[in-house]
Structure 1
Amino acid sequence: MRTTAPMLFTPPATAGARHATRLETLSVTVPEAAVEPYEQAFLSVCATVGMFEADDEQLFWRIEGVKQAGQGEAELEAGLALAALLSGHEAELSREPTEAEGWLARIYESFPEQRIGRRFAVRGTHLPRTTPRENGRLVLTLDAGIAFGSGEHGSTRGCLRAFEAVAHRRPRRILDLGTGTGVLAMGAAALLRRKVLATDIEPWSVRVTAENANLNGLGNLVRAELGNGWRTRAITRAAPFDLVFANILARPLCAMAGQLAAHLAPGGTAILAGLLDSQANMVLSAHRRAGLVLERRLHEGQWTTLILRRLPER
């Protein structure tokens, strides 16, 4: 079994805190298609969640979460039941006592610098400080304790590579829908020096994005807003957009294809990710029906990123 850099989340209120009660680590091993629902089940009760590649050939992942022992048991049971229903895979839950210091040491060890494409590098705060630009790369710094979307995952890497390919168009109105920790929003803001609207349905994500933007000196360019998809008031007020990042999930992307097309400016670009290779054609078909055209596909491991455009008006 080998581990890769985990995608992690620690709510700011608990990050680095001293725990007066006992901690425990929960873990499940699931196929790649079941990762998202089980990850959400853990996020509902755990202060920290990590995902590690467990089997290269079979594409299985181990999801681990740390929580206070005995707390949130009802929520955990409900979340795991929903995950099993949504994924069709019932995973066996394991538990073991955990020392906070040991978990953080593992996080730091597993979060090396990530070099992405030709222009970007993602680094944790536990690494030696560096300048915003190093060896021709823009350096995006994340707190290693809140590094969900650290750049290790194929969908994040694919989005940044796709952005490199279209950045020469110099889009002015930019949206990062489902921003996570704001890595994509920060990459766009840093490279183009443009303002970026970053939205997410999760309050913790909005807080973390704002903190990361300030950490990288981009607080004046990245605006983090809480909202539910395309119904978010900040989105409707700022539309239409010249560039949209949507690193979400395949089925929500399909369901929102018409709304994406409606909020994209003529000639605008959409970068879609969070898709397994097997899901890409389904997502592409939904957006073609909405009037968008495929410009390019990028692959990172088993993940596909789609670059789509709305044709200019004649």
Structure 2
Amino acid sequence: MKYIEVKIKTSQENLDPLTCILMDMGIAGFAVEDPQDFQALMEKKNSYDWDYIDESLMNYESMEAGITFYLDDTEDGRETLNQLEVLWKDGLMVQGASRNADSSILDELDGAQNLEKLESRPVPAAKMSWAVVDDSDWRDNWKEYFKPAKLTDRIVIKPSWEDYTAEQDELVIEIDPGMAFGTGTHPTTSLCIKLLEKYLEADQDSIIDVGCGSGILSIAAALLGAKDIAAVDIDPIAVEVTKENVELNGVSSKVRVYEGDLTKGLNEKAEIVVANLMADLVMMLSKDVAAHLTGKAVYISSGILIEKKQIVAEAIEACGFRILEILEEGEWCAIAARYLS
């Protein structure tokens, strides 16, 4: 489907009256980029217990204030675009636009007062540009960067649309992440799989995969020989994507998929629980995971920045576990711990 992407660049003080004009026109959905919002967020970042901050957010000082929104590339969308272009000429808002524009349009918009606010400013009010875009541009273009990747000596992950010939002893996971989190190429995924390879006893172990995402760890466990896997995720989209990928890899007889919040409401016990989440969620889960383990079972966790490994390891130990090992890759780590029943 095609859309009209409209971008309006302006000064920070002009954002509010501009958004009022758009709402007057019936445009209710738009993204506002306000450098002051990002500045306030960065000033308070130490007050939040974040694991990770995107580097692009650190460059807010060079950010230009603006608004982005989309119109359907239809007759109605084009009419709205024409109404906008009455107010802009050559990309700049026309001074006196509220007086020069077709009065019938302004009557419909009820936006003259907001236009006057903009026109009273001594600087150019705003610059508008637009382009027709196809949703396939963002929906599918990422696929060109998702290629087959060897995660461990045995496990290879490949997208469903790529061809790959497995070498001897390789186990290939075929994946289509869809709208779910996880293409399998993140370091935390390979770290978890390495620990599964080490601690999983083929044809014996049952596994609970908490926060299964697109199902990669569950499928890996099944291919490595686990006899029974319960995959759980709070996101219904992830649940559906996991089911599809489980079917794609021919392991439906081993993997059962549930929608749920961590282990709440899950009446399962297993020899291994694997949780590739975030540091805070891993620590929260550690308090409850023992109830879902049999005997001296193993708890594998990741999604943990190395700078937080000590506090997470201590939290896991406080819940009755002994740390077996910690693997590191890049800025991430994974922890394997055994429950001392």
Alignment match, 1:126: 161
Distance in 1, matches of 2:236 and 2:150, equals 29
Alignment match, 2:278: 249
**TM-score (normalised: structure 1):** 0.67
**1:274 corresponds to which of 280, 303, 308:** 303
1:263 aligns with 2:312: no
141-150 vs 246-255, which deviates more?
141-150
AA in 1 matched with 2:298: T
1:109 aligns with 2:144: yes
Distance in 2, matches of 1:165 and 1:290, equals 23
Alignment match, 1:291: 320
Alignment match, 2:84: none
Is residue 111–residue 144 contact of structure 1 (8 Å, CA) maintained in 2? no
Show CA shifts across 1:43-63 (max 9, x none).
xxxxxxxxxxxxxxxxxxxxx
Secondary structure of 1:150's counterpart equals coil
* Correspondence list, 1:96-245, <5 A: 98-103=133-138, 106-128=141-163, 130=165, 134-143=167-176, 145-146=178-179, 148-168=181-201, 171-232=204-265, 235-236=266-267, 238-239=268-269, 241-245=270-274
Show CA shifts across 1:266-302 (max 9, x none).
2101110000001111111111011100111111111
Distance in 2, matches of 1:204 and 1:275, equals 24
Question: Is the alpha carbon distance of 1:139 and 1:75 closer, same or farther for their aligned partners in structure 2, counting shifts above 3 Å?
Answer: farther
Distance in 2, matches of 1:139 and 1:71, equals 46
Secondary structure of 1:256's counterpart equals helix
Secondary structure of 2:201's counterpart equals helix
Secondary structure of 1:225's counterpart equals strand
Distance in 2, matches of 1:179 and 1:263, equals 16
Show CA shifts across 1:14-71 (max 9, x none).
xxxxx2534699xxxxxxxxxxxxxxxxxxxxxxxxxxxxxxxxxxxxxxxxxxxx78
AA in 1 matched with 2:205: R
Question: Is the alpha carbon distance of 1:124 and 1:285 closer, same or farther for their aligned partners in structure 2, counting shifts above 3 Å?
Answer: same
Is residue 247–residue 272 contact of structure 1 (8 Å, CA) maintained in 2? yes
Percent identity over the alignment is: 27
Question: For this pair of structures, how many residues does the alignment match?
Answer: 242
Is residue 180–residue 238 contact of structure 2 (8 Å, CA) maintained in 1? no
> Structure 1, unaligned stretches of length 5 or more?
1-18, 26-69
Question: Is the alpha carbon distance of 1:193 and 1:265 closer, same or farther for their aligned partners in structure 2, counting shifts above 3 Å?
Answer: closer
Distance in 1, matches of 2:229 and 2:296, equals 18
Is residue 108–residue 144 contact of structure 1 (8 Å, CA) maintained in 2? no
After TM superposition, give the deviation of residue 209 of structure 1 in Å: 0.3
AA in 2 matched with 1:225: Y
**TM-score (normalised: structure 2):** 0.62
AA in 1 matched with 2:228: K
Alignment match, 1:21: 3
Is residue 219–residue 246 contact of structure 2 (8 Å, CA) maintained in 1? yes
Secondary structure of 2:275's counterpart equals strand
Secondary structure of 1:204's counterpart equals helix
